[in-house]
Amino acid sequence: MKRFIVFAIILSVFACSTNQEAEFSLTNHIPDDTEAIILTPNLPEFIENLKNNSFIKESKFGLQERLSSQLQFIKHLNLRSKTGINLSRISSETMVYTITTKKDSALVVLDSLQNKSVETLKEDGVELQRIAIEDDKFFLYETGTTSIISNSKTKILDIAQRKNLLKSETFKNAYNAADPNKTSVFLRNSAFKKITGLFENFNFPGFRNFSEWSILDLDITKSEMKLNGISLPGNNSFMNLLSGVNPKEAEVAKVCPSDFLSFYSVNFSSFDSLEKNLNNYSKDSIAREFPEILQYVRELASIKLKSGNLFVLNAVEIEIAKENLAGLGVEVENYRNTPIFELENPGIFKNPIPELMLIKENRFYGIVDHFIIFSNEIDPLKKAIADYQNSNTIAGKSYYSELTSSLSSASSILMVSRLPEFYASLDKSPASEKLSFKKNSLAAFQIISEDNFAHLHGIFSNSEGQKMNGSGAEQTAYFKLDAPVNLTPYFFKNHETDQMDMAVQDEKNTLYLISNKGTVFWKKKLDSQITGEIHEVDLFKNGNKQLAFSTGYQLEVLDRNGNSVKPFPVKFNEALTQPLAVFDYDNNRTYRFVLTQNKRVYMLGPKGKSIKGFDFENAKANIVKAPKHIRLGSKDYILIAEESGRLNILSRQGSIRVPVNENFNYSENEWYGYDGKFISSEPDSNLISVTQSGAVSRKNLGLADNHRVVANDDLLVYLNENELSINDKRLSLDFGLYTDPQLFEIGRNAYIAITDLQAQKVYVFDINAELLPGFPVYGTSKVDIANADLDSKLELIVKGEENEILLYEF
């Protein structure tokens, strides 16, 4: 990594100098072994930009002390003209430099210095000065209008005698392409090999013989460094591989998990052109054979994750590509509706193009959209599939979009790294090295082939503001049950930690209580499946929470240790026909447990005894929905719907409070309180409204028979086939098989969740019908939403695979 940032190291050295002024002419005085050249029209401004860059200012590089000690004297120079800094032996312990600028009588300021010496030397007819300022020593030679400073007397003598100077037509072409108004860096291929060792960690071998010369113009701000330039190839340079191969858009970010370490992508419009160049480049007498599938792809990519590596093929003909893979492996697992195959020959895609990408063996592969993803381990492949389904890829992050907006839309090669994590994954750096990366710091380098040269674009972004921009739904954990999940998972308050645990039941009637970190507190075998929801209650009004629910024949209340709270359970001789309803009229934890057996209603108090004074016991016909408590203004109502179509709107005592003279053809939707009225719907598309005086009205919304409605005091939400309406704001979803919309009120905000069981996607919207960032995510059931831990973000739990619970944060 330190070789990757040596360029920034070199630049940062000058940030230690005081503001100066500069100008110079470059090409007549460059030693022929120069590997890197920094050319700047305004050295003081360049130094100031370096000093203000947060990364350089806050970081400490391993090589910084050595370079600073060699170039510390720059602060004593009046570099007021265009300045060139030529560097050679850049990877050695003592770097050789020559600094060239316009001759100035005030170039070296010595008057105010105490520890100084100036000695005039004459050697081989060349007169020069050896200057010592404190611990810094250098040589100064002046000729015509030019001043040259170096730590090497040999370099000075060679320049004076016009020996061993750079004479390269390729360099001259690169120099002519430089923007004279910007700071530019010229890099020889030997410098690329020495200072860009990081690229080897991308599985990219190209910089071993990348090009003869490259030039990069620099733009440095407080939080970014941008590089834009060109590379000019020499004989048999790597760049020749891309000649005539048109660039394409890199799409690997669409399947790259957002917590990746790095990715490297090669893009081409036609593999035929690339294949021809590869054969010419290798100079083999026999044409090489490539996997046939490469004819149907336009991108090869390598992704590094903390858990392993991925190799990705981006297919333009995915069905043909699938046929090409058929018979090469067998399906070993179906993960989230995505088959995972194991290759019979894991080495079939090993180093298919070693000049472009170093790929190891890959045993497994899966296909998402038009991407074929390979891995030698199954877990990284599952992670890629899960993050793709959860929309948790780097392409969906705003900080990535902002970074790549500075790049071209089409690439021949694109490399991106997530710097803090990527740096941490490499070999440990010396203790003296400290790099100050901010969260979500990214670096990107792009190569775009064009005729006989290549465009280069790079950006390093270290912006503090990206922390907020990267927010969105992310899967933070998953939990496995012993048997398939049967019940929507529910959050349950843990009064000991002030966080939320999770309650869920499996198909074997076992109820689990699990912490939000995955610790299973207990498992309890129940008599049958829980019907309806799990309710959170506080029977003793002391903040200690209990779980209340009904099963087929009993009402149960459990404490957080899984023990029944006496006198529960309350058992019934006949089956309960509707789920448990829990009323808390005044939000004072004086609970009413309401249960139904056909026509009969039971209302029990916190001690499991029947509530005296509740007179409604028997309906005229079977009750078709769990009794519902609705509060409109300051008045309480209990709604009981009968199979006959009769609607009973009762007082707390069970007497008729609102007489309703009409019968209804009920849909599967419940009754809700909305806008001061009671609302539900009929199967024939009518929205029913009943006033508090019993007046009935109907509004034809053109709803299909299977529509779903949910509401609260201020929000009316309904799903009609694939159209979701939130307070008359409508949006079209993909056609699918959807759960009922769920409405969550958390603090001052409300959220609407809905799951497409067919596509296995969970959507969460705000009250303005805007999909929240990071959604949809993978899920196969209804959800529960709460602030389950101690931070400000919300959590969502949902069933994943058949015996899996997923936890998301957003």
Mean pLDDT over 502-510 rounds to: 96
Q: Of 193, 220, 247, which marks where a domain is finished?
A: 220
Same domain? 408 vs 313: yes
**Joined tokens for residue 502:** 């999770």
Better-scored residue on pLDDT, 636 or 443: 636
Q: Give the Å distances, CA to CA, from 2 to 16, 60, 442, 725, 783.
A: 19, 11, 16, 55, 47
Same domain? 369 vs 494: no
Listed ranges 226-235, 269-278, 701-710, 791-800; the one with the highest mean pLDDT: 791-800
- What's the mean per-residue pLDDT of the chain? 87
Percent pLDDT > 90 in the chain is 56
3-state secondary structure of 10: helix
- Residue 780 is given by DSSP the state S
Per-residue model confidence (pLDDT) at position 279: 82
Per-residue model confidence (pLDDT) at position 22: 37
Same domain? 593 vs 617: yes
**Lowest pLDDT segment from 200-209, 475-484, 493-502:** 200-209
Say whether pLDDT at 468 is over 50.
no
- Distance CA(775)–CA(788), nearest Å, equals 19
pLDDT tens digits for range 133-163: 887 889 999 988 889 999 999 999 999 999 9
CATH number at residue 756: 2.130.10.10
pLDDT confidence tier of residue 61, bands split at 50, 70 and 90: low
pLDDT confidence tier of residue 722, bands split at 50, 70 and 90: very high
pTM reported for the whole predicted model: 0.76
Residue 645 lies inside a defined structural domain of this protein: yes
Same domain? 342 vs 370: yes
Domain that holds residue 177: 6-220
Per-residue model confidence (pLDDT) at position 76: 78
Task: Say if CB 164 and CB 32 are below 8 A apart.
Answer: yes
Residue 19 lies inside a defined structural domain of this protein: yes
**Cis peptide, bond prior to residue 569, ω within 30 of zero:** yes
Q: Are strands 136-143 and 146-150 parallel, antiparallel or unpaired?
A: antiparallel
Residue 198 lies inside a defined structural domain of this protein: yes
Mean pLDDT over 451-456 rounds to: 84
Helices (H), 523-669: none
Say whether pLDDT at 596 is over 90.
yes
Better-scored residue on pLDDT, 437 or 674: 674
Same domain? 399 vs 289: yes
Say whether pLDDT at 269 is over 70.
yes
Q: Of 434, 469, 504, which marks where a domain is finished?
A: 469
Per-residue model confidence (pLDDT) at position 59: 65
Spatial CA neighbour of 690 closest among 680, 682, 700? 680
Per-residue model confidence (pLDDT) at position 90: 78
Tally the domains of the chain. 3
Same domain? 454 vs 586: no
Mean pLDDT over 199-203 rounds to: 63
- Which positions ≥6 away from 430 have C-beta within 8 Å? 62
Helix (H) or strand (E) holding 479: strand 474-480
Same domain? 292 vs 196: no
- Distance CA(652)–CA(98), nearest Å, equals 93
Q: What is the Cα Rg of the chain in Å?
A: 36
Per-residue model confidence (pLDDT) at position 185: 87
Q: State the residue for tokens 């100064």.
A: 140
- Which positions ≥6 away from 588 have C-beta within 8 Å? none
Same domain? 658 vs 715: yes
Q: Of 442, 469, 496, which marks where a domain is finished?
A: 469
Same domain? 205 vs 302: no
Same domain? 252 vs 208: no
pLDDT tens digits for range 362-379: 999 999 999 999 999 999
pLDDT tens digits for range 86-116: 988 877 777 899 999 988 888 887 777 788 8
**Cis peptide, bond prior to residue 776, ω within 30 of zero:** yes
For residue 125, the tally of other CB atoms under 10 A from its CB is: 8
Same domain? 488 vs 366: no
Per-residue model confidence (pLDDT) at position 19: 39
pLDDT confidence tier of residue 466, bands split at 50, 70 and 90: very low
